[in-house]
Structure 1
Amino acid sequence: MWTLSGFADEIDPDPHTQFQTLNELGIRYVEFRSAWGTNVLDLSDVQIAELKRLLAQYGIGVSAIGSPIGKVGVHDDFDEHLARFDRALWVARELESPYIRIFSFWIPDGDDPAKHRDEVLRRLSALAARVGDQDVVLAHENERKIYGDVPSRCLDIVESVGSEKLRLVWDPANFVLCDVAPFTDGFASLRPYIDYLQIKDARRAEGQVVPAGEGDGEIPETIRALRDDGFDSFFSMEPHLAYMGESGGFSGVDLFGKATRAFTGLLDAEGIAYH
């Protein structure tokens, strides 16, 4: 069965409210990005220990660390960023997360991404190598305005780095907002490397994020193909229905529930089992 997760900080900054709402929706995993209004990598050791206690209390596991690694400029200091990455590795170990979400660096407005390819690949290769034999995988998200924002460059990243420690996140809304028809233009080439999905949809004409199935993200076609080839991993709710910004998004309790029911409705319509 497929496993639902979610960015619970889209529900509320307070982890009690986050985890209680996940329980009410039947979601037993969280993609952990922030709590108490603080990014996961900036939480203290004491706060991480409290989160471990709360996760156990509510019976919730961690599907991924929703880190901001790689969400800095391609010319920003990389050594400083590596220290932040070491914190991400530590948090992943503490919270027993199998994945750390990462990005492939902001490209200056107006620049040809190809000019920055070598530096992006150098940095991502260094991140993958730094994982070493730790039991965690880096999951690259196709965020807008980074090097890997369209299918061809996502493919370039994962094939050029060539590490089993680097896989892909599939985010259909982000592709739509880059003028890509996700399933039509990218699924076949990227499928061998897709380990993880983030669920939000978008309408290209308005540039608006909408619940799954209400936009141009070709989500029904995608889930049918994944079902048919035996995919078995996480689907993480990231609705962005109230607010969307460079550091994340927000939905609130009601809209997060609406988004979850929209996606599970698609799964039910296709006869796909999930938990």
Structure 2
Amino acid sequence: MTTTQSTRTLTWTLSGFGDEIDHDPEVQTAVLSSLGARHIEVRGAWGTNIVDLDETQLRALGAVFERRGFSVSAIASPIGKVPVADPAADEVARLERAVRAAHTLGSEYIRVFSFYPAAGQDADEIREPVMERMRLLADVAEREGVTLLHENEKEIFGDIPRRVLDIVTTVDSPALRLAWDNANFVQCGVKPFTEAWPLLHEYVDYLQVKDALFATGEVVPAGLGDGELLETVTALRDRGYNGFASLEPHLADTNSLGGFSGPAEFGRAARAFRTLTDQIGVITA
């Protein structure tokens, strides 16, 4: 594959989910720094989710990042990763705590989800309450000057392309954009670049990096699965994308609230992604 001078000098900002490395933010930042990153995506620290950290803990976390020379790419909140039958006010309150974390740590972006149907319920049946809740969340984001990034997590309402498109076009807010996750689409039986990218690319503001296999759903390093990562990063390059690429490897464990890799596997995931970006002539730093 050939590249032009402009693509050779295009730089994406490397980040990663710190709690996939270790509970301790000192270890998180040390490993990310060794991989060439100066940004971190914050889902948890000291074994506590980001929305449950109090003001003292948030200031202490910010002090670690400042001392280590790190900035925060996004607050990886669990907002919307709950049954749609739960009270909407509960998620609004949790989002307000995520906003507090974003303001304290200096991040524009907050990751969100679009709610689970009840067991055995078709996701299309919950469209109306999902849209009501996503509008409420967008209202908070607009008021607070932050941007929500909807992640296409499997089994939520917005897990497949047409429903993700429905969310962003129905809510129609500049404060609601997309975090793109190839592996999650694969786990829903969707070809990410072939089937999802044509519908959604104009709404994508953030890249979460992981890959997966259609046969088993297993998460694998970028470029080693069926997630059409090479095609996706090439398209991002060609549109002039210069945002974040956040590593979320899930190589050692995956659960309903996230995943874990550990330092060695996290490093393997970073090297796999670097192989792809080197191939298309993009710098990650």
1:139 aligned partner: 149
1:64 aligned partner: 74
Q: Following superposition of structure 1 onto structure 2, how do residues 1-275 of structure 1 map, counting pairs within 5 Å? A: 1-275=11-285
CA shift for structure 1 position 77: 1.3
CA shift for structure 1 position 134: 2.8
- The amino acid across from 1:211 in the alignment is P
Structural RMSD (CA): 0.8
Q: Give the TM-score normalised by the residue count of structure 1.
A: 0.98
SS in 2 for 1:117: helix
CA shift for structure 1 position 135: 2.7
CA shift for structure 1 position 274: 2.2
Structure 1: gaps (5+ residues): none
Structure 2: gaps (5+ residues): 1-10
SS in 1 for 2:41: strand
CA shift for structure 1 position 113: 1.4
2:7 aligned partner: none
SS in 1 for 2:72: strand
- The amino acid across from 1:118 in the alignment is E
CA shift for structure 1 position 270: 1.4
Q: Give the TM-score normalised by the residue count of structure 2.
A: 0.95
Question: Which aligned segments of 4 or more residues in structure 1 are displaced greater than 6 angstroms?
Answer: none
Taking the aligned partners of 2:58 and 2:273, their CA distance within structure 1 comes to: 30
CA shift for structure 1 position 72: 0.7
SS in 1 for 2:283: coil
- Identical aligned residues as a percent: 51
Taking the aligned partners of 1:39 and 1:205, their CA distance within structure 2 comes to: 32
* Residue-pair matches, total: 275
SS in 1 for 2:121: coil
Taking the aligned partners of 2:275 and 2:122, their CA distance within structure 1 comes to: 40
SS in 2 for 1:62: strand
